[in-house]
Amino acid sequence: MYLCSSEPVVKTPTVEIIRPLADVLKGDYAVLECSARDLPSGEVSVTILTNTGHQFPEVTYVDLPRGQSTLITRFTIPTTHQKKEHSFTCKVQQSPSKLWQSTSTGYIFAEPKPATLLLTTPTNAELETGNATFICAASQFSPNKFTFTWKLGDDVLSEKNRPEIVTEDKSTNTLTAVSILEIAASDWKYSYSPVKCEFKSSGSPQSKEAKYEAPSVGEIEVDIIPPSSEDMLVSGAGDLECKATGPDGFKGIRWFRN
């Protein structure tokens, strides 16, 4: 003979604390999400604690109706506790004898790291096409809050740069960001001002700049080839030829008469 029980199976509540991916991708590392499952009905409180024993004063109270056993709440960690030596846990409590706690987040706030900044300039071959592309790369920095600003002299070139490319190195919890600027070659070549990339993140702003340097006249070899004697004697006129050899980027000859 078998006896069947109609009593529902009582599960042990579980609590988990995470940093939501959507907030991390937006650069907000201070938001924590506490989720609790299989909770009994009734009023519960949700609290965030630090590894140093500090309990944040912001306590969330929720009255769970019968049939609802899942609860999700969000907290923003105050700036005063966004430090590398702090970790966090979530506590859900229904009575002095009924409380459930998550495992620790671990140390989630790394020490801010300054970027290494690199600026590359267009090649002479590209300049000959009439275009100029500059690439500014900021590597191995944190946190994920930064801005690039491109300038030509004092003029901001906000409409000429592409959207930034960002990659994350999870082994070091650092980021690399790349900004690309595209302008007409003449804007850079015939300006007395440099193109400047300014990068701002944690710490002091950084910048790199590049000014166009025209090929040195001393590097160009010029030969004047006179008309042949035969042309001058027979025709009374001849062609005067100027032959110039210079580095990549040199492409023009102008005649002057003394």
Q: 101 and 15 in contact (C-beta within 8 Å)?
A: yes
Confidence category of residue 83, pLDDT binned at 50, 70, 90: confident
Alpha-carbon span 182 to 162, nearest angstrom: 8
* pLDDT over 90 (residue 118): yes
Q: What is the pLDDT of residues 9-63, one digit of tens each?
A: 668 888 999 888 777 666 677 889 999 898 888 898 899 999 988 888 788 888 8
Could you tell me the CA-to-CA distances from 99 to 48, 55, 68, 148, 168 in Å, in that order? 13, 15, 18, 48, 37
The CATH class of the 14-101 domain is mainly beta
CATH topology of domain 116-210: Immunoglobulin-like (2.60.40)
Confidence category of residue 1, pLDDT binned at 50, 70, 90: low
Which of 170, 166, 171, 172 lies closest to 145, judged by CA?
A: 166
Predicted TM-score (pTM) of this structure: 0.52
In Å, the largest CA–CA distance within the chain is 134
Which segment of 54-58, 194-198, 203-207, 238-242 scores lowest on mean pLDDT?
238-242
pLDDT, residue 186, reads 92
Domain boundaries of the chain, sorted by first residue: 14-101, 116-210, 215-258
Amino acid at 224: I
Alpha-carbon span 246 to 27, nearest angstrom: 50
Average pLDDT over residues 247-253: 64
Confidence category of residue 201, pLDDT binned at 50, 70, 90: confident
* pLDDT over 60 (residue 229): yes
Confidence category of residue 209, pLDDT binned at 50, 70, 90: very high
Per CATH, 14-101 and 116-210 having the same topology is answered yes
Q: What is the pLDDT of residues 151-168, one digit of tens each?
A: 999 999 987 778 888 888
Alpha-carbon span 144 to 24, nearest angstrom: 8
Angle at 168 between CA 165 and CA 173, to 5 degrees: 145
Average pLDDT over residues 216-235: 68
Structural element, H or E, at residue 167 = strand 165-169
* pLDDT over 90 (residue 206): yes
Alpha-carbon span 220 to 252, nearest angstrom: 11
* pLDDT over 60 (residue 5): no
Alpha-carbon span 169 to 171, nearest angstrom: 6
Within its chain, how far is the Cα of 88 from the centroid? 27
The pair of structure tokens assigned to 53 is 């024993």
Count of C-beta atoms within a 10 Å radius of residue 138: 25
